[in-house]
Amino acid sequence: MSKLAFLFPGQASQYCGMGRDLAANFPESKSVFDAADSALGFSITQTCFEGSEEALKLTENTQPAILTVSTAAYRALAGKGIVPDFVAGHSLGEYSALVAAGGVDFSAAVKLVRARGKYMQEAVPAGQGAMAAILGLSPTEVGDICKKAAENEVVSPANLNSPEQTVISGSAAAVKRAVEIASQSGAKRAVILPVSAPFHCALMMPAQQRLEADLRATQFSALKIPLITNVDAQAITTGEEARAALIRQVTAPVRWLDSVREMIESGVTVFVEVGPGKVLTGLLRQIDRSVRVFNVEDSASLQATMEKLAQARAEVREP
């Protein structure tokens, strides 16, 4: 029997006005925005609906904003009775996946990711860290390039996104060296990314230690839906495993390629990207073009996805 997975996006999927349509059309989505404002003590709703690109780009705003919109989209889908067999989220998206799986309360999660954004921002002084996307080389080749470029500084693969795309992270000078070596080694593209901190590398250890204290003080529950973690690309079902994975995730690479392959090997043939943008939809097409992928970020995409899911199910039932 074919299986369904929900995927939740991470940072860089945000855009001005995201979530407004959901809140206007679905009471269950509107209540998510109300809960977020109440938990944070300021209007993240306003940041999502009317905030400037600059305000949305601040990591401590981006993270709760994307979590809120993704959860609002998930609640609208759940309201239609659609339940996935697996959930997974890219970096920050793992929190959205965990909320969807019932592993952590939304109000607790939105406070956690606000703090996570702040800690990550403060872990490395501005300008000292960097991230870059390397396109057209294998993850192994990129790993080797990082070793060559390090020269006693930090640079390592941060997001193993697809067979064609690996993002690296570390000290600004080491990342720059890695970009130059990658360009000479036949990369299609090697570009420094406009991010405010070097996520998912050893330089994030101060953020990991601060976030660990918050995560240990947060109540986690058993998951109602198996979650494929970023750090191990394996399914988990307990709150303890979820907490441990989120702690390790701050400095560890996001094993997205392996996570998607794990779901496909477990029988998933249909994926729905739940939340703003279509970043994960694009990556999925690079990983495996035989699976179907839809997205839900507003009422129009929800309607379209409902129709396509019904069609996919009808095809499965046909002899």
- Residues identified as active-site: 91, 200
Enumerate the β-bridge partners of residue 135.
165, 189
Residue 110, both tokens: 């939105």
Whether 100 and 77 have beta carbons less than 8 Å apart is answered as: no
Angstrom distance (rounded) from CA 17 to CA 50: 6
Residues 6+ apart with CB under 8 A from 239: 103, 104, 219, 220, 221, 222, 223
Angle between helices 59-78 and 93-100 (to 10 degrees): 30
- Please answer whether residues 107 and 35 qualify as being in contact, where contact means their C-beta atoms are separated by less than 8 angstroms: yes
